Amino acid sequence: MQKQISRLRITFSLLFPVAFLIGCVEPELVPKEQEVPDQVEYETNNKIALLIPASSEDPGIKQLANDLEKSTQLALTRNTASPIEVTTYDTLGTPEGAFQAANLAIGDGNRIILGPLFSESTQAIAPLANIRGVPVFSFSNDTRVAGGNIFVLGQSFENSANRMVQYIIDQGKVSGMIVSSNSRSEIRAKEALEEATLRTGFNIVETVTYELSQPGSLNAVEQIMLAVEVYSPEVIFLTGNTAGAVTLIAELLEERNLSEDILLVGIERWDIPEVALSVKGLQGAIFPIPDPNQSLIFSNRYQYEYDEIPHPLAGLPFDGIIAINQLMTENESGMVSRRAILNSGEFFGSTGPFKFTNKGTIERSLAVAEIENRRVIILDKAPRSLANPVVFPDN
């Protein structure tokens, strides 16, 4: 028994603290409907403010902010035809700091905002941006902050859920269950999966919600095995990432001899950090991933320029600059308006094609990956174009 407890503790230590979806961590948000100017004319239109937590007290966030700034400069030197001028403003990593930074940036004549990083910071600057008619390209992945002049660049749960649900339907699977912790980000992921499965007609036979802790994870496994016995699902969706309880639950399910016919499916990346690929219970599991080839091209560019590996989120401002540059180029006045963004077509960024939806969220081209023999295998390549995308609902 002691050996088993020790083994569980070791397995639980694999719950890696990887913050590659920073925008997921947010308080409860209540979107507000308000009138927003579509376009405001200014004497100069090429000034962009980069809002990042440059002096955050968290060393990891501070390093990420540094990577975001470097990525912005990389995009400016390699991908712009328009005379774009970018000025960096420090948000301090707080909503109050973000509001002050945005207010100062707009006062300085910046007509587009790139950032901030967090969803609560994005929400804090939204009223100001909407009143002043300033488009904001936030790095958050929380779709609830989108709308008006706020556009989110972060990879959304909705996008990932749509991709994975459609893929498993294409494989002929018709039923499954959702397993989610009670964390805010996983609740959002669960909601995205519920919407995707409801829209496509995929049958969810059971939903298990558990406390994000070791005892909670153990209880979740018992509930999963009971549901498997009763409902015989073909698929188990696990909403978390490797910083949560995914690795522990996967290991325990493997120890309980979960049928190999049942497919574990994620809607977040399960290949970060690389050691996660060695988790026995994740062998054969599938999850969405940006186009590896395009991601490698961006990473090589970044490493060549700065002699360091970029953070997984570093491509977001790179993509923002590409979109802004294309929009400026297409408009003779150089103006980037809300209407122009909503009516824009496809952009090609750090991980491949992406486009904005009519909600101000982003749709990205994603591949479907499998963990096989501790390696990532691409089962279904990321589309080279979003000309025939998964359809997002209007409401």
- Find where tokens 């996983």 sit: 186
pLDDT at 388: 55
Write the DSSP assignment of 376-390 as a string of letters: EEEEEPPPS--SSPP
Residues 275 and 174 in one domain: yes
Q: How far apart are CA 238 and CA 246, in angstroms?
A: 7
The answer to the question of residue 82 being in a domain is yes
Answer yes or no: is pLDDT of 39 > 50: no
Assign 81 a pLDDT band (cuts: 50, 70, 90): low
The answer to the question of residue 36 being in a domain is no
Q: How far apart are CA 346 and CA 363, in angstroms?
A: 10
Give me the mean pLDDT over the 209-225 stretch: 96
The answer to the question of residue 38 being in a domain is no
Residues 149 and 162 in one domain: no
Residues 188 and 198 in one domain: yes
Domain extent, residue 199, equals 157-290+366-380
Residues 225 and 370 in one domain: yes
Residues 202 and 126 in one domain: no
Q: What percent of the chain has pLDDT over 70?
A: 85
Residues 128 and 139 in one domain: yes
pLDDT at 82: 61
Residues 183 and 275 in one domain: yes
Q: What percent of the chain has pLDDT over 90?
A: 79
The CATH code of the domain that includes 81 is 3.40.50.2300
Residues 135 and 101 in one domain: yes
Residues 194 and 257 in one domain: yes
Angle at 267 between CA 237 and CA 286, to 5 degrees: 70
Q: Output the six-digit token pair for 111.
A: 């007509």
Residues 143 and 237 in one domain: no
Question: 277-295 pLDDT, tens per residue?
Answer: 999 999 999 999 999 999 9
Give me the mean pLDDT over the 318-327 stretch: 94
Residues 106 and 130 in one domain: yes
Residue 315 near residue 325 (C-beta atoms within 8 A)? no
Burial 153-186 (b: 16+ CB within 10 A, else e): bbbbbbbbbbbbbbbbbeeebeebbbbbbebbbb
Q: How many domains does the chain have?
A: 2
Residues 285 and 165 in one domain: yes
